[in-house]
Structure 1
Amino acid sequence: MMIVRHAEHKDLDDIYILAGKSGIGLTSLPQNKEILSARILRTQNTLQGQAAQSEQGYLFVLEDTELQRVVGVSAIEVSVGLTEPFYNYHVGKQVHASQALNVYQTLNTLFLSNDHTGCSELCTLFLDPDFRKNQNGKFLSKIRFLFMAAFQDCFKNTLIAEMRGYSDENGRSPFWDALGHHFFDMDFATADYLSGIGQKVFIAELMPRFPVYIDLLPSAAQQVIAQVHPQTLPAAHVLETEGLRYQGYVDIFDAGPTLEAEIKDLRAVQNSHVCKVKVVPEVPEGTIRYLVANDCYQHYRAILVSNQADHASLPLTVAQAEALGVQAGQCVRLLPLDIMEK
């Protein structure tokens, strides 16, 4: 059985192995045990109410209970940019006009921005390639929305998610080569890694403060602005089905798009509901798959089921109830995995 729960210190070795498989571009999952251990500790401190707002975050793991192994991770940051600036580019326009010369030119530009300071952020989604089946990826991603639906007061009004931008099979980013490389004098992988482990001061010290004219960049760089890495397209589609949209902001390193939404407008917030558990020997399998969570803040557990449910009750087997840590008569939160067609 697959279970999503909060990360614990016992998961460190498994998460370290996953970090090694994630490749270049997933900056929030560096293969560094000290940093990963601190990330787990931060989750535990957040759950215990011992973390300052700027340090609050949740790291979830997907565990295969038969293998007793963590095979995926996903996370939410509560409020970004409160201790160090949160940078991205805003894709905007500048108009150059001269009546005397009868010239009117609209040019696309990149403005260095801190507009998302204080927003909550979805991040660190990675699933072991061997387990990219049986809807595991959707489960791991979407369970964060169900958690936010249950505990909205723990988050900010706006939610963002930075999508991995395009890089080739050798990890080279056309956008970085055309722009960032000239200011940082390091390769894309190094800059991305330093940013991911929190060493972001160099961004403020070295990035150009003036608008960058997109038309002056090489064609290869222009074409990848706001483009999602091919391996990240399925994850981006999942977020879009939950209500997030591109609003004109991109990453400063690889120009990957930032998706955003108001938390109150998310599908999980609008459509999830709470119902009571019925524990039964066998459960007739339905045609709809549901995310099911126990809504227990500190001991959060979630599973994916195909049980026949209604708004009043959800039948669970003994094994499913034990996985969630619930008993008959207790409540769980329920959301269809996919959007229901009307």
Structure 2
Amino acid sequence: MSSFPQRIFSGVQPTGNLHLGNYLGAIKRFVALQADFPCIYCVVDMHAITIPQDPKELRRQIREVTAAFLAVGIDPVKNIVFNQSQVHEHAELAWVLNCVARIGWLNRMTQFKEKAGKDRENASVGLYVYPNLMAADILVYRATHVPVGEDQKQHLELTRDVAQKFNNDFAESIAACGFGEAFFPLTEPLIAGPATRVMSLRDGSKKMSKSDASDYSRINLTDDADTIAQKFRKAKTDPEPLPGEAAGLEGRPEAENLVAIYAALVDGTVEDVLRDHGGAQFSAFKGALVDVAVSKLGPIAGEMRRLMADPGHIDAVLADGSRRASAIAHETMNAVKDIVGFVRS
């Protein structure tokens, strides 16, 4: 992979309210990565329609995710910020990869099993093959790294498998077209930092989710200070005080979750938090957590509301990003067509 210039790609689905888990697990890290890498950040709206969407609401949510990108500090000039459906090469490459990936690989995807549930026969074909579209999202930019949470590692492994099989299947053609031994990189995951997997405030064994029926299970990025305070104060805990060391959090998922959230918000470690708050009752610790959360998230929510009031500006950012993304994707897709054996003018 050393022969490939470093490039980061990541995408966020515009489905439901963005929440604290999206921020700490992904979007917050995007800001840090832009200092060291060329980054492409995508609103993956084509993934969103694998399940039914209200068209008007989908448009609003595409703009909301874009607003969140900008509000947290992603620079749309230094980076590329766009929505997937404006770059048709994502779909084109996905079809080629559909013909490279094996059914057995997709059958092992745990997220399809979870999302389709027991009624798999009625799930959309898109939901089944969307890991191949995810692979196309990454590979159409020949991205070398993707920041992912633990729950996305399986999809990235599939991306690597598909890339490797394409490189193997078309090795002779790849060399003949002047691309050496491999056309696609074997994309590496970037997994780092505390609270990469933020859990529900109502059940520490479940991931914080947009789809949870209870709004008290999550902190939405658009929540105001009073709502943030109320949700954290009502968060499920246990009767014991905070331990002084991380080992004392074992078997206490709700306590572990709140401590990890605090640590991620202050860019610290769990050990740092317990050093300062060990022995405290949760009533006191939740107060400190509310103060930190409001100071960090309040400005983001305010900026998101300001940006959402000017959809024309958001659309202009997406249009510019899509134009720049298309230039890269078009070059990749032309090469893929040559490698596969298509005739193009």
Greater relative contact order (CA < 8 Å, ≥ 6 in sequence): 2
TM-score, length-normalised on structure 1?
0.27
Higher helix share: 2
TM-score with structure 2 setting the length: 0.27
